[in-house]
Amino acid sequence: MLEVLDLDLKMGKEEYQGAVQRLRVKLRDLQHAVRAAGIPVVVLFEGWNAAGKGDAITALVRPLDPRGFKVFTTQAPTLEEQFHPFLWRFSTRLPGKGEWVFWDRSWYRQMLEERVDGRLDRSGALAAGGEIREFERQLSDDGVVLIKFWLHVSRKEQERRLASMQSDRFERWRWTQPDWKKERGYRKYLEAAEEMLALTSTVNAPWKLVEAHNRRFRRVKIFEHLIGALAGHLSRHGKGLEATGSSMPTAESIDEGVRSRGLHIEVDSISSVLDRSDLSKHLDREDYEKQLSRLQLRLRDLEFECYGRRVASVVVYEGWDAAGKGGNIKRLTQELDPRGYEVVPITAPTLEEKTHHYLWRFWRQLPKAGHMTIFDRSWYGRVLVERVEGFACEEEWRRAYQEINEFERHLTVAGVVCVKFWLHLSPEEQLRRFQSRECTPHKRFKLTSEDWRNRTRWNDYRRAVTEMIERTSTPYAPWTVVEAEDKLWARVKTLSTLVATLEKRLGV
Amino acid sequence: MLEVLDLDLKMGKEEYQGAVQRLRVKLRDLQHAVRAAGIPVVVLFEGWNAAGKGDAITALVRPLDPRGFKVFTTQAPTLEEQFHPFLWRFSTRLPGKGEWVFWDRSWYRQMLEERVDGRLDRSGALAAGGEIREFERQLSDDGVVLIKFWLHVSRKEQERRLASMQSDRFERWRWTQPDWKKERGYRKYLEAAEEMLALTSTVNAPWKLVEAHNRRFRRVKIFEHLIGALAGHLSRHGKGLEATGSSMPTAESIDEGVRSRGLHIEVDSISSVLDRSDLSKHLDREDYEKQLSRLQLRLRDLEFECYGRRVASVVVYEGWDAAGKGGNIKRLTQELDPRGYEVVPITAPTLEEKTHHYLWRFWRQLPKAGHMTIFDRSWYGRVLVERVEGFACEEEWRRAYQEINEFERHLTVAGVVCVKFWLHLSPEEQLRRFQSRECTPHKRFKLTSEDWRNRTRWNDYRRAVTEMIERTSTPYAPWTVVEAEDKLWARVKTLSTLVATLEKRLGV
């Protein structure tokens, strides 16, 4: 079936830019709709080496809230994986309701490779195909939307790309893998691919073949197919894309008493390290855009450098409500290769987490060497919300400063880079943002009575933040107070701080 | 400090048997008390190769409910572990409140070995010791009881043991590990151990040195120290060992209406595969004890054989309330090496589990090659309690028979042995057991209104069980209906079934 693809299909730059702009907005809206509808989404990419699978995933996740998706790469199985049934590493990484998982190669990899190298004969392929169909049917029966892309390039095009990648310093590391030689048998691989596609294209999980020569064409086709599939699924289940607005979480009715107490905040006169930050700092949009895009690309370079040198990093975001953490994280990650980082939003601990040491759940989320984990709130909850709201007793949160310093020292001694941001703004600016959320229908759900309640405790939090920064800003893991009165300034500051820290660590 | 140990200390057989009998009962009671008090327990063993660490753990867990503890072995770090900070693999495996974790080697292994092979110098050792002290202080501050044993043998004794192990077919595999040669430098190792013990013996987590030449002496000393440490901890926190009884969960007050409806059960006349089981089957105690101990030892042999040949197995226990699953599992595992199996009790799914496919949480618990996982209740909940109580909709549980067959086929194709038991008894016998629980103070908490409520739905469950067995008994994963009217018979039957299945699979 692959020979019928017209690999000459192209798209012009202007057409592409218009299309992609529109598609990004649609996909972002779909993420909200899918979350509201509680649908798990799995998107997988197979196809030739260098066909653009990573590029496609990077393009797709750009408009998405990074707290809602994960990206996994299928390499040759580790020993641990070899010691389990074949589907184990995939089954244990299924998305929950409303979550997205992207796979760069997937459960098809092994079948394909074993077929090419002869470990799997025809009947073995039939059996493997059967198992995979069963697995996918089980997912789709359970409401998972599964979308499968095959990215196709010709032999000539593949050779051209591999050659050019080998001379690219950020791509070269990919070809040190021992399995790349296997892929050279294009003909054999093509036959195995055709067989596999035929065996596993089902009603509920058909393969989408993508002519992958032209990057713009390929990206737009992938966007359109994904959007169509999701919108179709939503509308078949009575939740059309148009209904996105109405399927947004509804705004909580605000406790008026709390709200009015929160309107005017008198900040304590006690001095704080926070006072030293100059909240008048700002950037105009032109400056911002220039700096942002330069820093984003630089961070992407550093991401690859960290991967190649196996340097892990941990980025902690803390800050006032409405200080702009979400938008800031989105800008930080926008140009990164999504296979290299993960954003972990921290909310109230689960029952299981509560029966363990409070650091336990953070240990489980640490990045492995070469990767980056961004914590949207973190273990500092112990000395912030848990302290202020009394969720931890005094003895516990008092102990925590030392525990955290020890924990972060342990990480940094192991080579992990620790960067910590406190996003700071004035109570007046916070009030403006709260009020603007109240006036914007699609943002109203973000504002709850709890936000107003937290606001009335501004001075308690200010005291907790001050002590936190004073006691846990260490030479190996310093705090950076980010002036977030102007969001543009804040975004550039977090990016440039992270970039500078990584440059220093890498000596580049 | 090690040179002061009197390695000639011994204990006679009779004295040992009396002591160990008493100590086992105490430890079992302590498990209840510790669970009731919500205390996490970590017990770790370090010491010479062949000093008896595994033997000590095996002896300690014998009286314990296997659903309440886990045993981990520290090997050389895997690639995944190397890609994380040193403490990661330990921090992520901390026990929750009321749980026990045993470590055969621990976070001390790496420090010792690197010190012996020279990767760590004196100041490196100081730093490592400091990190470990911090880690242990954090645990103990959080209420974890941490008990550390160092098992000491002389150079001569170690050499003798290693030589004899190499000729033992069940021990030989342990010496194929590349690191065993490292241990031969007894002198160097001794110095490193002395240094390590001195650096990390703290008030809250002191080392307990054990003269490990004589097995009986060693075991009793370990038992006594562990019991003393736990009882001391409990009494310091106002929960003396004597208070075990009063710290037991209190019996729920039973809904009298439900209870009276549950007293008399009329079994449906519809025929069932269950009718074919002859509930008059029984064993007298003498026969039972002979067979049990023979089968337990045989199963232990097979456990080692499975480990050596990397055959995983899954054992599923389902059955009526009060059919004796817990006691049965305890006998099944009694002689096993606890490093080779795990017992997983299945209760209602957590919030996170509910947002995933219902098989997801079982995927995460699968044994790795060479290990055994025993599920106390399982994925069959979908077609039993979830069906009967309406937690799954009809479409979901109807679909599940096929899903389960596919799941188990996938496991068996991957080489996993699947053994499934339904423990069957009559409603009359169940009533007798319920009533006997009501009359026994320390068992009363096990009986709740829910048990009575389930009992009133006997016929609904009978229908569900019948359909389950009919539809999911496959050639590759057959059900065994175990006549459990007599507990002794049931224990021998599950053991002999598992033994026969493993023998067949291994061809031994």
pLDDT tens sequence across B381-424: 999 999 999 999 999 999 999 999 999 999 999 999 999 999 99
pLDDT at A449: 87
| Residues A215-235: tens digit of each pLDDT | 999 999 999 999 999 999 999
| pLDDT at B62 > cutoff 80 | yes
Q: What is the pLDDT of residue A174?
A: 59
Across the range A182-191, mean pLDDT stands at: 76
Single out the residue of A402, A398, A452, A397 nearest to residue A427, CA to CA: A452
Nearest CB to A78 within list B79, B131, B364? B79
The A residues from 333 to 362 touching B (CB cutoff 8 Å) are 350-352, 355-360
Stretch B98-118: mean pLDDT: 94
Contacts of A131 in chain B (CB under 8 A): 406, 410, 413
Measured between CA atoms, how close is A407 to chain B, in angstroms? 8
* B87 CB within 8 Å of a chain A CB: yes
Chain-chain contact of B139 with A82 (C-beta, under 8 angstroms): no
What pLDDT band is residue A187 in, cutting at 50, 70 and 90? confident
Which CA distances in Å does B412 have to A81, B300, B313, B374, B478?
16, 22, 9, 16, 12
Put simply, the answer to whether B79 touches A84 (Cβ < 8 Å) is no
Q: Is the Cβ of B136 closer than 8 Å to some Cβ of chain A?
A: no
Q: Verify whether the Cβ–Cβ distance A83 to B366 is below 8 Å.
A: no
Read off the pLDDT band of A178 (50, 70, 90). very low
pLDDT digits (tens, 9 = 90+) for A414-468: 999 999 999 999 999 999 999 998 888 777 778 888 899 999 999 999 999 999 9
A483 strand-pairing partners: A424
Residues of A in contact with B406 (CB under 8 A): 131, 134-135, 138
pLDDT band of B247, cuts 50, 70, 90: very low
Confidence (pLDDT) at A260: 87
Q: What is the distance between the alpha carbons of residues B236 and B230, in angstroms, rounded to a whole number?
A: 10
The interface residues of chain B toward chain A in range 284-313, judged by CB-CB distance below 8 A, are: 310, 312
Assign B249 a pLDDT band (cuts: 50, 70, 90).
low
The first and second tokens of residue A489, run together, are 């300034």
> What does the pLDDT look like over A322-357, one tens digit per residue?
999 999 999 999 999 999 999 999 999 988 899 899
More confident residue, B42 or A158: B42
Element (H or E) spanning B73, and its range? strand B69-73
Q: For A96, which of B355, B369, B413 is closest by C-beta distance?
A: B355
| Binary contact (B410, A86; C-beta < 8 A) | yes
pLDDT tens digit sequence for B289-320: 999 999 999 999 999 999 999 999 999 999 99
Partner-chain contact B366 A87, CB within 8 Å? no
A410:B96 CB<8 A: no
CB contact under 8 A, B83 and A350: no
Distance of alpha carbon B388 from alpha carbon B222, whole angstroms: 47
Measured between beta carbons, which residues in chain A are less than 8 angstroms from residue B413?
85, 127, 131
Secondary structure (3-state) at A235: helix
Instruction: Output the pLDDT for position A177.
Output: 47
pLDDT for residue A448:
86
A355 contacts B414? CB cut-off 8 A: no
Q: How confident is the model over A241-261, as a mean pLDDT?
A: 66
pLDDT band for B260, please (50, 70, 90 cuts): confident
Which residues of chain B are within 8 Å of residue A386 when distances are taken between CB atoms? Answer: none
Is A357 in Cβ contact with B139 (below 8 Å)?
Answer: yes
State yes or no: pLDDT of B161 exceeds 50. Answer: yes
Q: Answer for the pair B227, B23: CB distance below 8 angstroms, yes or no.
A: yes
Separation in Å, CA of A406 to nearest CA in chain B: 7
Q: Which residue from B124, B127, B116 is spatially nearest to B194, judged by alpha carbons?
A: B116
Please name the member of A82, A91, A363 whose beta carbon is closest to the beta carbon of B92.
A363
User: DSSP state, A251?
Assistant: P
* Residues of chain B contacting residue A410, judged by C-beta atoms under 8 Å apart: 85-87, 131, 134-135
- The pLDDT of residue B243 is 45
Chain B residues lying within 8 Å of A348, measured CB to CB: none
Please tell me which of the candidates B131, B369, B370 has its beta carbon nearest to residue A410: B131
What is the average pLDDT value for chain A, to the nearest integer? Answer: 91
The answer to whether the Cβ–Cβ distance between B369 and A413 falls below 8 Å is: no
Q: Is the pLDDT of residue B271 over 90?
A: no
Residue B210, judged by CB atoms within 10 A of its CB (0-12, 13-18, 19+), counts as buried
Comparing CB atoms, the residue among B134, B357, B411 nearest residue A85 is: B411
User: Is A93 an 8 Å CB contact of chain B?
Assistant: no
Mean pLDDT of A151-162: 90
Q: Which residue of B has its CA nearest to A81?
A: B368
Q: Which of A147-161, A306-320, A419-433, B179-193 has the lowest mean pLDDT?
A: B179-193
Q: Are B256 and B40 in contact (CB under 8 A)?
A: no
pTM of the model: 0.82
pLDDT-derived band at A182, boundaries 50, 70, 90: very low
- Supply A332's token pair: 């930080």
Distance of CA A347 to the CA centre of its chain: 16
Rounded to 5 degrees, what angle do the CA atoms A418, A99, A349 make?
55
**Which parts of B38-85 fold into alpha helices (H)?**
53-61, 79-82
Question: How confident is the model over A171-188, as a mean pLDDT?
Answer: 59
CB A65 within 8 A of CB A5: no
B479 pLDDT band (50/70/90 cuts)? very high
* Residues A456, A457, A463: CA angle, nearest 5 degrees: 145
Q: Do A355 and B91 touch (CB under 8 A)?
A: no
**Contact B366/A416, CB-based, under 8 Å?**
no
pLDDT at A352: 85
Enter the ipTM: 0.79
Mean pLDDT of chain B: 91
Residues 6+ away with beta carbon under 8 Å from A52: A151, A212, A215, A218
Least confident window among A143-147, B125-129, B278-282: B125-129
* Chain B residue whose CA is closest to A398: B141
Question: Taking CB atoms and an 8 Å cutoff, what residues of chain B touch A360?
Answer: 91-92, 94
